[in-house]
Amino acid sequence: MSTINRQLRLKTRPEGLVQRANFDLVEQPLDELQDGEVLVRTLYISMDPTNRVWMRDIPQYMPPVAIGEVMRGFGLGRVVKSRSSRYSEGDLVQGLIGWQDYLVINDSAKGYVRLPADPGIPLPTLLGACGMSGVTAYYGMTDIAPVKAGETLVVSAAAGSVGSIAGQIGKIMGARVVGIAGGADKCRYLVDELGFDAAVDYKAENWKQALKEATPDGIHVNFENVGGEIMAAVMSRMVIGGRVALCGLISGYNSDGRASDNYSVIIIKRLIVSGFLVLDYTKTKEAVQALAGWIREGKLKAEETVADGLENAPEVINRLFDGSHRGKLLLKIASDM
């Protein structure tokens, strides 16, 4: 009996929040494996802001997902059948698995990482703090805009999957770390659980004054995930020659709005602003080893918010934008073997 694969295929491009109606849930039997192919059972899908970008028909660093295509997404799966010399049954595979129950890849497929069957850390953490989110934070904090001991680092979307790791790396490096997040509970989480020196609630009426009070010596490094008004407020507090690791602009992903065109602060303060993509990083193995080591040593805390069910992906992705999660947002597709 053939294995049935469920896939979420993009039907229409969302306007505003993502809806189930924007996708078709398609079921189809899988063909028999050919030589050099493996069948990967999806275990977890990473819910990332870039998913929302890929749904839009705009110029971007990868082609937009076409209408009728399986929704693109990073994920983690386990090899359940193999006719490959590269992969064995039981191996874990990380990469662009997509919003589906199964994926067939061959030996020549690029962009997939084979992991040991027992990696020694929980699978959600492997996809979060030791996956693309953690590596992104590591890349930004070590290569793009490294912070020095005694300097002030500000991280926006600091309770999210990338920001929470970036801020903790800043603490490991000896910086004063200020996080910006939405809501008193998230701000307490940053300070009480993750060890940030201060947290600013951007939903509070006086948040700009709170940011000023939390950064009395100015801001040396900005790890920017949000853009818009928050980015403008942080940039206005930066010191001469400050550095910006421009990781994301999530405030505009659900709209056709654009970031402010007022770049004068970059000139006035002689800021170094560097946009970056984790896809360009060449030291991923080094990053994962460092992140995993910090977790084992208790220097880095990882947290995941895990939802269930492939069919729920369109609704779950919206939790990235309404602030109803902490740490890495994941979708569990199947239980592990």
Tens-digit pLDDT profile for residues 266-282: 988 999 999 998 888 98
Rounded Cα gap, residues 164 and 85, in angstroms: 39
Determine which of 109-123, 230-244, 271-285 has the lowest per-residue pLDDT on average. Answer: 109-123
- What's the pLDDT at 272? 95
* Residue pair 35/106 in contact by the 8 Å Cβ criterion: no
| Chosen CATH of 132-280 out of 3.40.50.720, 3.40.50.10070, 3.30.930.10, 3.20.20.30 | 3.40.50.720
**Percent with pLDDT over 70 in the chain:** 96
Helix (H, G, I), strand (E, B) or coil at 51: helix
What superfamily would CATH give domain 4-128+303-332? Medium-chain alcohol dehydrogenases, catalytic domain (3.90.180.10)
Q: What is the tens place of the pLDDT at every residue in 167-210?
A: 999 999 999 999 999 999 999 999 999 999 999 999 999 999 99
Give CA–CA dist 336/129, Å, rounded. 19
3-state secondary structure (DSSP) of residue 188: helix
The answer to whether 221 and 147 are in contact (CB under 8 A) is yes
pTM, two decimal places? 0.81
DSSP 3: P
Amino acid at 211: L
Report which residue type is found at 90: G
Please give the Cα distance from 284 to 155 (Å, whole number).
22
Identify the CA nearest to 132 among candidates 171, 160, 168: 160
- Provide the pLDDT for residue 58: 85
Please determine, for residue 136, whether its predicted confidence score (pLDDT) is greater than 80: yes
Q: Is the pLDDT of residue 260 over 90?
A: no
Instruction: Give domain limits for the chain.
Output: 4-128+303-332, 132-280
